[in-house]
Structure 1
């Protein structure tokens, strides 16, 4: 939606702000999401109702934190009803999160909402809710998490997902064979167990999985070719891996005349089209 300014609108009760909402909003912004959140999006003198309506209109998704306090207040319910009216057809905009509530309590509030899949955040680190919101609202950015982790460009600990993985359906055998090549090719610069590697790809939404495998195949292929062609030592191999990862995240490989030959060769190799003959 080109008219939107925010990825996410957080609808919540003020009683939950200190313990859950504030750290959740911080993690979401660290993950690169544009968040409408009253502490950051309202200024002195703003009309509260007008600002909330504008935030709802300008957000791709509404993250509703369903808690006992939320379910008992009229103002959060107003936000929910407003979000509900903005949903059209198959366009999902409401992302429900259960926080110290169960299905029976949500059912009394809204049978429609109780019938939706919700992330249960009760007793969990707010970071896990942030990861799940990113997975749904910005799946491409979520797929990049593994690469950002490999490039040490992640401001939040990806290891948090290890204890509470949100996994999609199993990978196909052809996909597993390709992932095995990637893992073996990069083992000396990015050592991971087989289970860790498979889990990282299973976290991606199915529609983004194939593209992410292709990105890693390009990284692995160029890494093998350049490191062998120039007989790179360990430090240069590590540097090569990092610049390839950074290129996939938007930081192009430097290829000016002042760069080492192997770096310029890596840039040319990574951007080339393989001959089909």
Structure 2
């Protein structure tokens, strides 16, 4: 994975022909910005009187990645050919994966005719849709942001019942490679317990969840979060004597915990107004309960089993 350098002002630079701006480039750039990426393309950075070539040089010099929207219009633009050669030169000299080609309305033979080098590189296509295209780009540019597959998948499961509309990644189709061929045995047992705890408000099978963990870059961290969510969920219901048959309240509890862990819950008062079945004080209690459970799990998971066992015995 490429590490971003301190002098890189942008995460990526989009090389494109102006004819493709409205059909694909602007939508893609806006979607990537919603993910928190710093994106350079002429609508964002070029001002009246700026030198196009100088601005392009600045973008190429200050970006970690370059996205190239390859289209028929792109192939006809001399200045975009200059951008391409600059990106090629940079990739070859640094031996980094700098270029991310995206095909737009073209076929393999069109790319081969223009650049045999690019034709040999794996490319994405705008045919998959802007949301999925942005997600695939994020996998390369910001894998740390996009690796929480299980939580995002659960958000999509809850969409029919929830008002979480601000989280764009919820609508993105995911197809991720399996990063871990095996998982610890305790992982399987604990995952089934978590799914059983949440079983009446979700239809997630523990085998599907295990598959999601296997695709996560850091499954240990994700596993600890899910343990904290499950502990907070069931203990809050028990201690507050929530009616187990009230699925709407239980979904609100679960949605809040998911939103809190991902940063989607920014204002508890606003959340409570949209989910009034619980009082504001109860949502604060949920937040504190999750933080305590998370800290407890993190503390014990960081020690050896022998040391942890001894610490638990001391508290009995």
TM-score normalised per structure 2? 0.70
Larger Rg: 2
- CA deviation string 1:67-108 (max 9, x = no partner): 122123221121122222333545312111112223332223
Query: How far did 1:10 drift?
Result: 1.0
Map 1:1-277 onto structure 2 (within 5 A): 1-87=5-91, 89-121=94-126, 123-144=127-148, 147=151, 150=155, 152=164, 154-156=166-168, 158-161=170-173, 165-169=174-178, 172=181, 174=183, 177=188, 179-192=191-204, 197=209, 204=215, 207-233=217-243, 234=246, 237-250=250-263, 259-260=281-282, 262-263=285-286, 264-272=288-296, 273-274=299-300, 276-277=308-309
| Residue pair 2:224, 2:294 contacting (<8 A) in 1 also | no
- How far residue 11 of structure 1 moved from its aligned partner, in angstroms, is 0.9
Q: Using a 3 Å threshold, how does the CA distance of structure 1 residues 81 and 14 change in structure 2: closer, same or farther?
A: same
Task: Give the deviation of 1:247 after TM superposition.
Answer: 3.6
Q: More helix per residue: 1 or 2?
A: 2
Residues matched between the structures, number: 268
Whole-angstrom distance in 2 between the partners of 1:141 and 1:90: 24
Which region of structure 1 is more displaced relative to structure 2, 14-23 or 100-109? 100-109
Cα distance, 1:266–1:54 mapped onto 2, change above 3 Å: same
Contact 1:11 1:62 in 2 (8 A): yes
CA deviations 1:143-194 (Å, max 9, x no partner) are 2466357282544363451xxx433138646378355444333233444467
Structure 1: segments with no counterpart, 5+ residues: none
1:17 CA drift (Å): 1.5
How much does 1:59 deviate? 1.8
Instruction: Determine the C-alpha separation between the residues in 2 that align with 1:128 and 1:182.
Output: 29
* Whole-angstrom distance in 2 between the partners of 1:4 and 1:229: 50
Contact 1:222 1:270 in 2 (8 A): no
- TM-superposed CA distance for 1:239, in Å, is 4.2
| Contact in 1 for aligned 2:12/2:39 (Cα 8 Å) | yes
Separation of aligned partners in 1, 2:194 and 2:88 = 44
Structure 2 unaligned segments of length 5 or more: list them: 156-161, 269-279, 302-307, 310-316
CA-to-aligned-CA distance 1:85-133 (integer Å, 9 cap, x gap): 3335453121111122233322232232222211122x33222211111
2:293 is paired with a residue whose SS is: helix
Structure 1 position 33, deviation (Å)? 2.1
Whole-angstrom distance in 1 between the partners of 2:254 and 2:220: 21
Q: TM-score, normalised by structure 1?
A: 0.79
Equivalent residue of 1:116, what SS?
coil
> Which range is displaced more, 91-100 or 175-184?
175-184
SS in 2 for 1:61: strand
**Preserved CA contact (<8 Å) 1:71 1:77:** yes
SS of the residue corresponding to residue 7 of structure 1 reads: strand
- Matched-pair contact (CA < 8 Å) for 2:150–2:209: no
